[in-house]
């Protein structure tokens, strides 16, 4: 009998467990199982109604204007019949109270058991918003932005992008801030630049050169083995395995000579060189044709050239893994100023060591906070000892692939800090906020 | 048998019965929860997939204006942001609902997106994007099935209430079950002017604007129209950002068998084939040649309709097509003069038949609906999500229905 009683006790315990579990396992309401995305529906409805700026015009009209009734008809006409809504328009103004409700209407007494809302900021047609950026180089020399867009070279560590697509994005982001923006379309044009020849009447001196090819740098044919200036791009006596390290040295020299700001957008700088015409089917070791490896010596050779030291092959690694890194406070603040919002946290596996400062470099801007002795992203200025003049700069973002090109743009803008003259969006009477709330009628 | 043994047997039996009962009960709760999670996940995927399609123009960006197959699928208009769709990409989607046909002269099979007699849109399969390509590009092959319908929000219907002297047409404008009062209606009226037997017809056109009353209706009276005049009326209605389009045509003839059919031949070259109806529908014995005169009508940014001149006979705006295979042309090439969305209006005349056929160039210019995808084969759960979108300024509602093809119990 004792065993039966024990079993009955067990049944009581399991029944208790089931009841308690059932209390927590509450079935959701039917509308939660397969929900309509009301928030997006609300936003797309407002966007549709503002397709020809009709909504923008209506919300600035007087409260008794017939346009409000038309808006109400249009809302009822374009929503599914089971939708209930509330539309409220707020005046955006300065002062302590930012929003003041000025008009509200609805097609039901309440919005049911649940609702979602979307907001939409509209500008008065009487106000023109303008953002006028200051042009870099406007007040002094320089002001040229070169974006390497060479069609006859391949990129590396720009996984998911092509150098050309990155170049297009950079052009959109940065061209308003520079006097001249030049897309360098092939390695021959790059050769002209290196030879101090203007491509479109721009100033070569004090320019910014963005290498969109990631860890790889396009190399003009002239600088390759067997061509006219091979001695400036190829040196097999210093390193038979990586003879094109010499080209990085030349780039360093040119950066100093023309006071360029050389920009490396991702990864280990100067790790490969590429020219599809010259290297043809030769690969970088990972299946990318038209590319030759330079290895770790590339950055050292560049810095030697930048510091006007004699060229010698040096394979010492100057980069390390910094892991998760954060935007420096200065750059994070400037996100708002320039309206560029990359993720504030990034992963860095090719951060440059502070040991490179021995090449007469100073850190002019930390894009990311320093991690130990590693700078995951920084702008370096080269200044000779006992001099105050900057002779070349270098922006290196030692992040892991895939590159976020907005970081490059933000880094450059934070360094040059061009002013922008913007209209005041919160001036009285210039903007109104439309909040559109949707719910579903009927059901649980 | 000792009492302890009986106690053990009873206890064990009760215990096993209780365990089986509780396994069943818990199993039901777990099954419900798993099912809920699956359905919820499907709803999330549906919303994401719809945004993927609506907010991405695909690649190449202008694939809707080419004959090539995109390498990435999306319907956004590359010239805009947000939920604005390309009228040309939509035109290249293979219709799920229309009955396709093969035109024997070119050997091409055509996707049929037509909206009844006279309102034609035929796209060759070789230039259309079919469901399997789209599913492959979207990464849903063998995982999800979907069906995308894009329908105009505003319905504009035209009713003929008086046949002649004057011709009276009533335009009704409504949203889903809600009339649009005081909407501005801009219309274009084109009438065929026959020039006699075996001659290319001429046409006269009239453009005007009116407003709907509180019932959402507008009456249009057109003078100088007799009962045997063939015509088409195209009406654009707009109010508070909503734009809708309607059309109505009257063909003259006993059987309505001899007419011109426009078939899209090349998106890249804006080329349309004009063919004899007998070559598509086998109506019986060969019949007379059809003479035609084409024009192109645009909706301008101020919501008025304008006629766009076609460049002489080099574009193929005038001509005739025959049924037979002699030296005369069985079809004629016509080049649309622009990539701006508009309507190709073709007046025709053949023996006792007069009429007008129209074809949208850009799906939105006649507010054609689009149904693309596949049909669900007995799915266990279908989720839907909707977005309001604009196609060249015309308000549409996009609805995606999605169901799972993978996992346990995906069919009911």
Q: What's the pLDDT tens digit per position in A319-374?
A: 999 999 999 999 999 988 888 888 889 999 999 999 999 999 999 999 999 999 99
Nearest residue of chain A to residue B81 (CA atoms): A47
Residues A263 and A202 in one domain: yes
Query: Distance (Å, rounded) from C-alpha A137 to C-alpha A144?
Result: 8
> What pLDDT score was predicted for residue A258?
94
How many CA atoms are closer than 13 Å to the CA of A394, on its beta-carbon side? 32
pLDDT recorded at residue B410: 58
- Which residues partner with B152 through β-bridges? B396
Residue B19 to residues A20, B14, B23, B24, B315, Cα–Cα distance (Å): 17, 9, 6, 9, 82
The Cα B26–Cα B22 span in angstroms is 6
CA atoms of A376 and A323, how far apart (whole Å)? 9
Q: Which residue has the higher pLDDT, B7 or A144?
A: A144
pLDDT of residue B288: 76
Nearest Cα of chain B lies from the Cα of A407 at a distance, in angstroms, of: 23
Cis before B175? omega within 30 = no
A267 within some domain: yes
DSSP B372-396: EE----SBS-EEEEEEEEEETTEEE
Same-domain status, A155 and A280:
yes
Q: What is the pTM of this model?
A: 0.65
Residues with Cβ < 8 Å from B116, sequence gap 6 or more? none
Between chains, do B387 and A52 touch, taking CB under 8 Å as contact?
A: no
- Does the structure show a pLDDT above 90 at B191? no
The answer to whether A284 and A292 are in contact (CB under 8 A) is: yes
CA dist B274 → B121, B162, B292, B350 (Å): 12, 32, 9, 14
Does one domain contain both A106 and A188? no
The reply to whether A90 and A159 lie within a common domain is no
- The more confident residue out of B94 and A151 is B94
Q: How far apart are CA A161 and CA A350, in angstroms?
A: 19
At B93, is the pLDDT very low, low, confident or very high (cuts 50, 70, 90)? very high
Q: What pLDDT is stored for residue A428 in this prediction?
A: 63
CB proximity A40 to B under 8 Å: yes
Give the pLDDT band of residue B393 (cuts 50, 70, 90). Answer: confident
In a domain, residue A3? The reply is no
A 54-73 residues with CB below 8 A of B? 54-55, 58, 66-67, 70-71, 73
Across residues B182-198, what is the average pLDDT? 86
The pLDDT of residue B408: 61
CB pair distance less than 8 Å for A3 and B10: yes
- A222 and A333 together in one domain: yes
Distance CA A252, CA A304 (A): 7
**A20 in a structural domain:** no
Collapsing DSSP to helix, strand or coil, A214 comes out as strand
> A312 and A253 in one domain?
yes
Identity of the residue in B14, B29, B243 whose CB atom sits nearest the CB atom of A4: B14
Does A20 touch chain B if contact means CB atoms closer than 8 Å?
A: no
Task: Check whether residue A343 and residue A360 sit in a common domain.
Answer: yes
In the prediction, which pLDDT does A410 show? 94
Provide the b/e sequence for A50-82 (b: ≥16 CB within 10 Å). bbbebbbbbbbeeeeeebbebbbbbbbbbbeee
Quick one: pLDDT at residue B101? 87
Q: Supply the pLDDT for residue B303.
A: 63
Percent of chain A at pLDDT above 90?
50
Question: How far, in Å, CA of A390 to CA of A259, rounded?
Answer: 7
> Helices (H), strands (E): how many in chain A?
12, 21
User: Mean of the pLDDT values across residues B25-49?
Assistant: 85
Q: Are A270 and A249 in contact (CB under 8 A)?
A: no
| Cβ–Cβ below 8 Å for B14 and A48 | no
Asked if residues B207 and B185 have their Cβ atoms less than 8 Å apart, the reply is no
Tokens of A221: 């044919």
B93 secondary structure, DSSP code: B
Residues A225 and A344 in one domain: yes
Count interface pairs A-B at CB distance under 8 A. 141
Higher pLDDT, B281 or B45: B45
Q: Lowest mean pLDDT: which of A412-421, B196-205, B341-350?
A: B196-205
Q: How far apart are CA B149 and CA A255, in angstroms?
A: 57
Confidence of residue B161 (pLDDT cuts 50, 70, 90): very high
pLDDT above 80 (res B61)? yes
Whether residue A113 sits in one domain with residue A160: no
Mean of the per-residue pLDDT values of chain B? 85
Residue A4 is assigned to a structural domain of this protein: no
- ipTM exceeding 0.85, yes/no: no
DSSP string, A216-263: EEE--GGGSTTSTTGGGT--TTT-SS-TTHHHHHHHHHHHHHTT-EEE
Q: Say what the pLDDT of residue B285 is.
A: 62
State whether A36 and B385 contact (CB < 8 Å): yes
* DSSP string across A137-183: TSSSS--EEEEE--TT---BS-TTS-HHHHHHHHHHHHGGGBSEEEE
C-beta separation of A249 from A304 below 8 A: yes
User: For A58-86, what is the mean pLDDT?
Assistant: 88
Residue B42 contacts A where some CB pair is shorter than 8 Å: yes
Q: Are A91 and A59 in contact (CB under 8 A)?
A: no
Radius of gyration of chain A (CA): 30
A305-318 residue pLDDT tens = 999 999 999 999 99
* Mean pLDDT confidence for B139-145: 89
- List, as own/partner pairs, every contact residues A136-140 make where C-beta atoms lie below 8 angstroms and the sequence separation is at least 24, other chains included: A136/A177, A136/A178, A136/A179, A136/A208, A136/A416, A136/A418, A137/A178, A137/A179, A137/A203, A137/A206, A138/A179, A140/A206
Domain CATH for A183: 3.40.50
**pLDDT over 60 at B394, yes or no:** yes
For chain A, the average pLDDT equals: 88
Torsion angle of the four alpha carbons A250, A256, A257, A258, in this order, in degrees rounded to the nearest 10: 110
Tokens of B136: 């492959």
CATH number at residue A75: 3.30.1140
Statement: residue A257 has pLDDT above 90: yes
**Partners of residue B170 on adjacent β-strands:** B159, B219
Q: Residue A299 domain-assigned?
A: yes
* E strand or H helix at A191: helix A187-194
In a domain, A10, yes or no: no
Mean pLDDT, residues A272-276 taken together: 92
Express each pLDDT in A359-401 by its tens digit.
999 999 999 999 999 999 999 999 999 899 999 999 999 998 8
Please report residues of A whose CB lies closer than 8 A to that of B386.
36, 41, 80
Residues 224-253 of B with CB under 8 A from A: 239-243
Residue A365 belongs to some domain of the structure: yes
- Co-location of A180 and A329 in the same domain: yes
Say how many domains are in chain A.
2
What's residue B146's pLDDT? 94
Provide the 3-class DSSP secondary structure of residue B209: strand
Q: What is the mean pLDDT of residues A403-421?
A: 91
Question: Given B83, B84, B241, which is nearest A74 (Cβ)?
Answer: B241
The encoded tokens of residue A441 equal 């009628």
Instruction: Answer whether A82 touches B (CB < 8 Å).
Output: no
Q: What is the dihedral sign for C-alpha A205, A206, A210, A211?
A: positive
Of A28, A49, A81, the CB nearest to B240: A49
The answer to whether B299 and B305 have CB atoms below 8 angstroms apart is yes
Which residue segment(s) compose the domain that A360 sits in? 132-422
Residue B309 has pLDDT above 80, yes or no: no
When mean pLDDT is compared over A117-131, B21-35, B80-94, B270-284, the highest value belongs to B80-94
Buried residues in B89-107 as b, exposed as e (16+ CB within 10 A): bbbbbbbbebeebebebbe
Q: What is the pLDDT of residue B15?
A: 87
Whether residue A121 is found in the same domain as residue A138: no
Which residue in B207, B129, B219 sits closest to B172, CA to CA?
B219
Q: Is residue A5 part of a domain?
A: no
Say if residue A238 is in the same domain as residue A285: yes
């Amino acid at each position: 009998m004792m065993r039966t009683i024990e079993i009955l006790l067990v049944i009581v315990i399991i029944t208790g467990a089931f009841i308690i579990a059932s209390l927590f396992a509450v079935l959701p309401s039917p509308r939660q199982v397969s929900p309509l995305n009301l928030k997006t529906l609300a936003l797309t409805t407002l966007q549709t109604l503002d397709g020809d700026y009709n909504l923008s015009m209506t919300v600035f009209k007087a409260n008794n204007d017939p346009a409000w009734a038309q808006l109400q008809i249009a809302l009822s006409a374009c929503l599914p019949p089971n939708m209930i809504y509330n539309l409220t328009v707020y005046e955006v103004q300065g002062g302590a109270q930012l929003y003041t409700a000025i008009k509200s209407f609805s097609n039901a007494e309440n919005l049911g058991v649940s609702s979602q809302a979307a907001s939409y900021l509209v500008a008065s047609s009487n106000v023109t918003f303008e953002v006028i950026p200051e042009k870099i180089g406007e007040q002094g020399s320089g002001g040229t932005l070169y974006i390497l867009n060479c069609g006859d070279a391949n990129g590396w560590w720009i996984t998911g992008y092509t150098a050309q697509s990155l170049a297009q994005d950079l052009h959109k982001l940065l061209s308003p801030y520079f006097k001249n923006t030049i897309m360098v379309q092939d390695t021959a044009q790059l050769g002209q630049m290196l030879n101090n020849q203007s491509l479109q009447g721009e100033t070569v001196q004090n320019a910014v050169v963005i290498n969109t090819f990631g860890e790889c740098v396009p190399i003009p044919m002239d600088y390759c083995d067997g061509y006219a200036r091979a001695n400036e791009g190829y040196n097999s006596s210093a390193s038979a395995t990586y003879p094109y390290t010499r080209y990085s040295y030349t780039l360093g020299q040119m950066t100093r000579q023309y006071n360029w700001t050389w920009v490396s957008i991702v990864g280990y700088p100067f790790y490969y060189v590429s020219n599809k015409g010259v290297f043809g089917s030769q690969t970088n070791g990972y299946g990318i044709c038209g590319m030759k490896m330079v290895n770790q010596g590339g950055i050292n050779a560049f810095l030697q050239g930048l510091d006007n030291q004699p060229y010698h092959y040096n394979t010492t690694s100057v980069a390390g893994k910094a892991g998760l890194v954060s935007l420096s406070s200065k750059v994070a603040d400037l996100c708002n100023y320039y309206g560029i919002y990359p993720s504030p946290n990034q992963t860095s596996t090719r951060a440059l060591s502070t040991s490179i400062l021995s090449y007469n470099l100073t850190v002019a801007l930390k894009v990311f906070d320093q991690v130990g002795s590693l700078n995951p992203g920084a702008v370096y200025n080269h200044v000779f000892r006992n001099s105050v003049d900057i002779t070349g700069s270098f922006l290196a973002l030692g992040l892991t692939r895939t590159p976020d090109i907005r970081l490059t743009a933000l880094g450059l803008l934070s360094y040059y800090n061009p002013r922008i003259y913007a209209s005041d969006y919160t001036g009285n009477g210039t903007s109104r906020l439309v909040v559109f709330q949707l719910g579903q009628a009927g059901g649980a | 048998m000792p009492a302890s043994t009986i106690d053990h047997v009873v206890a064990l039996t009760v215990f096993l019965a209780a365990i089986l009962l509780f396994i069943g009960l818990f199993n039901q709760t777990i099954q419900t929860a798993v099912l809920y999670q699956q359905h919820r996940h499907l709803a999330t995927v549906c919303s994401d997939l719809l945004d993927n399609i609506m907010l991405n123009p695909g690649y190449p960006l202008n694939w809707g204006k080419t004959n090539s197959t995109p390498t990435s699928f999306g319907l956004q208009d590359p010239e805009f942001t947000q939920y604005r769709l390309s009228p040309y990409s939509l035109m290249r989607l293979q219709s799920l609902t229309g009955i396709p046909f093969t035109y024997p002269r070119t050997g091409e099979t055509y996707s049929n997106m037509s909206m009844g007699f006279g309102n034609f849109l035929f796209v060759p399969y070789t230039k259309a994007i079919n469901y399997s390509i789209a599913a492959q590009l979207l990464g849903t092959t063998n995982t999800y099935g979907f069906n995308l319908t894009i329908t105009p929000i505003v319905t504009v219907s035209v009713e003929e209430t008086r046949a002649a002297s004057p011709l009276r047409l009533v335009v009704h404008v409504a949203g889903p079950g809600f009339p649009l009062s005081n909407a501005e209606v801009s219309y274009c009226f084109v009438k065929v002017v026959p020039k006699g037997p075996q001659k290319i017809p001429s046409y006269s056109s009239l453009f005007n604007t009116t407003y709907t009353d509180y019932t959402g209706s507008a009456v249009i009276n057109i003078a100088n129209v007799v009962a045997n005049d063939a015509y088409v009326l195209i009406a654009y209605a707009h109010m508070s950002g909503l734009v809708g389009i309607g059309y109505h045509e009257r063909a003259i003839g006993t059987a309505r068998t001899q007419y011109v059919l426009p078939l899209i031949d090349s998106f890249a070259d804006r080329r349309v084939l004009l063919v004899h109806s007998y070559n598509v529908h086998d109506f019986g014995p060969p019949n007379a040649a059809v003479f035609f005169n084409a024009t192109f009508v645009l909706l301008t940014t101020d919501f008025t309709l304008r006629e766009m001149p076609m460049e002489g006979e080099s574009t193929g705006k005038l001509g005739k097509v025959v049924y037979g295979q002699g030296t005369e042309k069985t079809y004629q090439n016509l080049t649309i003069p622009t990539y701006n969305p508009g309507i190709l209006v073709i007046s025709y005349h053949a023996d006792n038949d007069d009429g007008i056929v129209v074809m949208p160039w850009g799906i939105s210019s006649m507010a054609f609906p689009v149904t693309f995808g596949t049909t669900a084969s007995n799915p266990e759960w279908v989720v839907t999500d909707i977005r309001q979108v604009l196609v060249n300024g015309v308000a549409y509602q996009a609805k995606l229905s999605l169901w799972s093809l993978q996992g346990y119990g995906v069919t009911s």
